[in-house]
Structure 1
Amino acid sequence: MEFDNNYFEAEVREGFYVTSDIKHAWAAQLEVLSDVDKACRENGIQYFAEWGTLLGAIRHHGFIPWDDDMDICMRRPDYNRFLKAAKDIMPEGYEIFDMNTDADNDNAIARIINGRNINCDGIHLEKYHGFPYVAGIDIFPLDYIAADEEDDKFQCDLIDIVWTVEKLARNIENKCNEINLEKAPAELEFRLRQVEELCGVTIDRNKSIAQQLLRLVDKLSGLYTENEADYITLMHVWLGNKSYKFPKNYYREEIRVPFENTDIPVPAEYEAILKIKYGDYMVPVHNWNSHEYPFFVTQKEHYKADGVEFNNYRDTYSDYMQYKEQVDVIRKAKKIVKSFNGDTHKTVLFLAYKSDNWNMLDNIYKQYCGEENTRVIVQSVPYYYKTVNGVFEKYADSGSYPDYVTITPIEEYNYLEEYPDEIVFQYPYDNYNSAGTTDSVFHSYNLALHTLRLTYIPYFRTDEIDENDMRAYTNMNEYVTMPGVVYSDRVIVQSEGIRKLYIKKLTEFFGEETESEWAAKIEAGDIGGN
């Protein structure tokens, strides 16, 4: 699959900040989807977008901004065929991760993954768009509900019994502290005999009992065929929610709809399905919890433990204070020189990051233009895309600035020599972003050394964020705990609510004793972006 370089940049979608890392994760999963789609088409296996992927396809024509993973579903016969044939029909490197392949997997679904380990091999990174972590797609089996109510009740009761014993067996295997490990084995043996009698099976005590029981749950879930049913469901949901069912014909025909830069099959009856799942599905509702977010965070932490980090800002508060002392010494000397020369004029340099983002600077720009004895200079900062092969590609800005803004070429004004009174800039990441960077001379670390005041204004505006919105708050790590915010003397954000979250996030990062530092420099202001 092909992606434009700008696809991987962080962006605000529908008020939600999507990080560059998540954009790479999206692209990697779309690559997996492309291979799954090809294998399924060539082998007559039908699948559909499921859960957030289905909702995203219809409502957003792509990922839900606050979603990070992909889900598909298959009717049980197609599901079984795919799992059995995946090794032969999928490209090399793919694996199935489910109850049959991994004894410690306690999920009732399968996952197709592009490997088992973090992979920084050049060929792998090229294919999966610079995403080194394991990427995959969850596959949910659709099962048929028995037409006879008593048969359905018996099946559900049986599944519930086996699943309860499976959980006990897994707790014993994992030596869980929540159970009595002395009495539990005897209880397990008693229940296993019940399961064996009820289901007509034999459980091998020398193998993982939990794994065998979960496989049994899977078989029991697919007990009925299409000809024996009127409705279809996800059995693990149906067990606890008897309204979660769909006429079986809802999952018979498919249509393909746009999804990011490709398309994806959805049930032709997607509207009826989405109403059953979500009610008024066109009204966005942020998912504040669910699985760990982003899905690769644990992989990232494992890599970090091994001493390898990607685009992680790591300065300590001690580093910051030492740097601040260095800046203060230089500024005192510059102020003395300025006073000695009798210079009462003020020069303010605006470093714009892309013409599309100028609106965030417009209000403060006009404010300074209206001040007496103030010279205002605007420069467009050179920006480069980072490519998988390590080559930087210069961004060509095809947009335009307002007619009243004059762009001064970089070569005509050298801030390193001129030492402006204030620099106002927009790019917070320095080199700690996986999609792009500016010239190092325009990194905040250097800017602060060559001005009396460094002011940072974000190039974007988000919706107001509730700190209980775990996903939005987590993503603040990618634009708040960044050098552009830390090294600035003044940070102007969109609202008092966002200001408080900036302070909270920085205090969590650097320590409780630093809170007053951030409270003093961060302010809510009348910036652009409305």
Structure 2
Amino acid sequence: MKKKLRELQLIDVDILNAVVKILNKYHLKYYLIGGTLLGAVRHQGFIPWDDDMDIAMPRKDYDIFLNKYYKELPSHLSIKNFQNDLKYKYYISRIIDQRYWVREVRDKSSQDSLINVSIDIFPIDGTPNNEIARNIYYLRIMYYRALISLIQKNNIDFERNRNFLERLMIIIGTHIPLDKFFSTNKLQYKIDKILKQQASNSKFAGTIMGAYRTREIVPRYFFGGGANVRFEGKIYVGPQKYDEYLTHMYGNYMQLPSKKEQKQKRHFEILKSKGD
């Protein structure tokens, strides 16, 4: 199992290097974020039990890459998002390696759970500066996110710690055929419109479409001009205030989680090819 996990991690690194080569060529900003950044700072590489990779780009650079420069990716790599695939489940974009396959652990649908190895790319979007307006903005995004989650019943993470209201919504939502009333793809476009309306110089910004939702909104200066971090033997770019970012996200981030928590981090079952 460890050998296959390491193979997956190294495929992710190859994808990252191909993407970063293009971003550097055209001076497009990016940052390692989330668990990938945590791995870089704490382990100088992958968190040993981690099986995915996340980077983020300022909205302007993200859109430029998606609309133009992704075409320079090697032939075995391609981009997937809700704009080019009506059945795509997520708002964020993924750069996929068409040669390798994994199965999403939390997806109970055998038809949809088999996917290509990929890395995630998130846009960094601003928020309203006014606190009341910012909270209304959060509610709008969370409403659409909740609808999408309930439509995609097979993709709900039932092992995640949730508050009472979230658990109640899941119980109710999983018994109502919401897919007959709403289209995931159309909801993604609604989210996209809201996110793109936000100012690029707002006080706060982040990757609200990430797993930690509003917790991923931080003071914009945390990202800044970026800081060099070492990851798997190479230098990449993390947020300028990466210590503040990681503390905000994880608290005492240098402390290792329990063995039980480590096991809960699995996202994929690793397959060599679709025929395995």
* Shorter-normalised TM range: 0.7 to 0.9
- 1:48–1:117 distance in 2 versus 1, CA, 3 Å: same
- Larger Rg, first or second structure (1 or 2): 1
Is structure 2 residue 196 aligned with structure 1 residue 261? Answer: no
The 3-state SS of whatever aligns with 2:203 is strand
Contact 1:167–1:210 (8 Å) recurs in 2: no
Q: Distance in 2 between matches of 1:246 and 1:184?
A: 33
Listed as ranges, the matches of 1:283-302 within 5 Å are 283-286=255-258, 287-292=262-267, 295-297=268-270, 299=271, 302=274
Listed as ranges, the matches of 1:284-433 within 5 Å are 284-286=256-258, 287-292=262-267, 295-297=268-270, 299=271, 302-304=274-276
Q: CA RMSD in A?
A: 2.9
Deviations 1:410-461 (A, max 9, x none): xxxxxxxxxxxxxxxxxxxxxxxxxxxxxxxxxxxxxxxxxxxxxxxxxxxx
Q: Distance in 2 between matches of 1:68 and 1:184?
A: 30
Listed as ranges, the matches of 1:109-148 within 5 Å are 109-115=92-98, 134-148=116-130
Contact 2:31–2:55 (8 Å) recurs in 1: yes
| Letter paired with 2:209 | H
The 3-state SS of whatever aligns with 1:73 is strand
Q: 1 or 2 for the larger relative contact order (CA 8 Å, sep ≥6)?
A: 2
- 1:136–1:303 distance in 2 versus 1, CA, 3 Å: same
Q: Distance in 2 between matches of 1:41 and 1:272?
A: 25
State the partner residue of 1:233. Answer: 206
State the partner residue of 1:82. Answer: 65
State the partner residue of 2:23. Answer: 40
State the partner residue of 1:51. Answer: 34
Q: Distance in 2 between matches of 1:37 and 1:87?
A: 11
Contact 2:100–2:272 (8 Å) recurs in 1: no
Contact 1:156–1:239 (8 Å) recurs in 2: no
- Alignment size in residue pairs: 241
Deviation at 1:144, TM superposition (A): 0.7
Deviation at 1:254, TM superposition (A): 1.5
The 3-state SS of whatever aligns with 2:243 is helix
Q: Distance in 2 between matches of 1:65 and 1:50?
A: 16
**Which one of the candidate residues 269, 272, 277 is aligned to 2:244?**
272
**Which one of the candidate residues 161, 179, 184 is aligned to 1:210?**
184
Q: Distance in 2 between matches of 1:31 and 1:220?
A: 33
Deviation at 1:78, TM superposition (A): 1.6
| Structure 1, unpaired ranges of 5+ | 1-17, 119-132, 172-176, 193-208, 305-530
- TM norm structure 2: 0.76
- 1:225–1:238 distance in 2 versus 1, CA, 3 Å: farther
Deviation at 1:244, TM superposition (A): 4.4
| Structure 2, unpaired ranges of 5+ | 102-114, 154-172
**Which one of the candidate residues 191, 207, 217 is aligned to 1:245?**
217
Q: Distance in 2 between matches of 1:170 and 1:86?
A: 31
- 1:166–1:69 distance in 2 versus 1, CA, 3 Å: closer
Deviation at 1:110, TM superposition (A): 1.4
Q: Distance in 1 between matches of 2:241 and 2:269?
A: 33
- 1:105–1:256 distance in 2 versus 1, CA, 3 Å: same
Is structure 2 residue 181 aligned with structure 1 residue 221? Answer: no
Contact 1:86–1:96 (8 Å) recurs in 2: no
- TM norm structure 1: 0.41
- 1:147–1:238 distance in 2 versus 1, CA, 3 Å: farther
Contact 1:106–1:214 (8 Å) recurs in 2: no
State the partner residue of 1:482. Answer: none
